[in-house]
Chain A
Amino acid sequence: MSIDSAGFGTILIILIMAVVTLVTRWGGVFVMSFVPINYRVQQFINAMSGSVLVAVLAPLAVTGDNGARLALLTTAIVMLLLRKPLPAIAAGIVVAAVFRQI
């Protein structure tokens, strides 16, 4: 089944996207409201919050070009040294940009 992307169809497609996205934004909170928050659940949440980010980053680092890898490496080093996110992010982007010009 598919939607004709002309005219009203476009609006329908956008509404479907919006509803599906809203379900993901609300669903996690909704489900958790039925889960008793004990120590184990807190530990799960705590471990998962960092893991979400790591899971986003891993393929980026492994399958990305060398510009991407150098950018992440630079951000990591600056962040560990200075503990300030903005200079770390800026350094990473600059390194990627410079490396890709070469």
Chain B
Amino acid sequence: MLSIDKGSVELGLRDVWFGFKQLLPISLFVIVFGIAFGLAAAQTGLEDASTLLMSALVFAGAAQFAVLDLWGEHVPILPLIVTVFAINARHLLMGATLYPWLRDLPLAKRYGVMLVVSDANWAMSMQAFNRGKPGLGLLLGGGIALWSAWALGSWLGLYFGSAIRDPVSLGLDMVMGCFLLAMVLGGKKDLRMLIIWTVAAGSSLLAYWYLPENSHVVVGALAGGLLGAVWMEKKIEH
């Protein structure tokens, strides 16, 4: 990622469509998550329109599920903000990692693309960028696919939620985990990276056990990142 070539930051309709198609398979699973969320929201007592509005505007599954746990006649504001922020704080890191490829875009495009950033499309676009391939289409087109799937799933869940009563017994809770693992292993692997990942995993676990809830992703990621900044790869001179 030393030199970022012009081709990798192009964003035409064709790139967006390509990205949309690339993320379609995983989007099918996101529909199932959405159904589970729609069902859970209805059971929590949210009105149908509110559930749809939440999925469309927030588009962050883990945080939305967590807010259902806080839901009652009264919803406390500070815990609401802290929970949503902590769970979604990984977006901050994703944005930071994408920045080198976004900085040449006009402001509207730069922040427009970030509207639909989510784990899956971010992971795929980073993998593409790191190989010197175009990734913005994956980010935007893939994000649109994921957003549509999430909204559609939430809507279906209001009516057909009972069809998937137990997503865990079908292994569906593992979709995102397996996907992210495949992305990790598809990237560059050497001894340095392996040690960085070990430190990230260890810090994440320690934070998971001993630090406030939902802090583990940020702690682990920063630990890995800092180690990478201190222990740099030998610079390859061009």
Contacts and interface: CB of A to CB of B under 8 A. Distances in A.
Interface residues of A, number: 76
Interface stretch (B13-21, B151-159, B192-200): B192-200
Given A21-B59, A45-B100, A100-B171, A53 B225 contact: no
Contact of B95 (A28, A51, A57, A63): A28
A52 B186 contact: no
Interface string B115-139: 1010100010010001000000000
Contact of A57 (B53, B99, B180): B180
A48 B224 contact: yes
B175 interface: yes
Contacts of A59: 204-205, 208, 216
Nearest to A29: B95
Contacts of A17: 54, 57-58, 63-64, 67, 80, 84
A24 B76 contact: no
A26 B175 contact: no
Q: Bin chain B's interface residue count.
A: 35 or more
A49 to B, nearest CB: 4
Given A37-B99, A54-B184, A71 B178 contact: yes
Given A14-B54, A53-B180, A39 B232 contact: yes
Given A32-B99, A32-B103, A51-B199, 17 more contacts: A4-B74, A14-B58, A18-B57, A24-B91, A28-B94, A43-B233, A45-B100, A47-B224, A47-B225, A49-B126, A50-B197, A52-B94, A56-B180, A63-B208, A71-B177, A75-B181, A76-B181
19 contacts: A11-B53, A14-B57, A29-B111, A37-B103, A43-B228, A44-B226, A48-B96, A48-B222, A49-B130, A51-B225, A52-B221, A53-B184, A55-B220, A56-B204, A56-B217, A72-B174, A76-B185, A86-B25, A100-B168
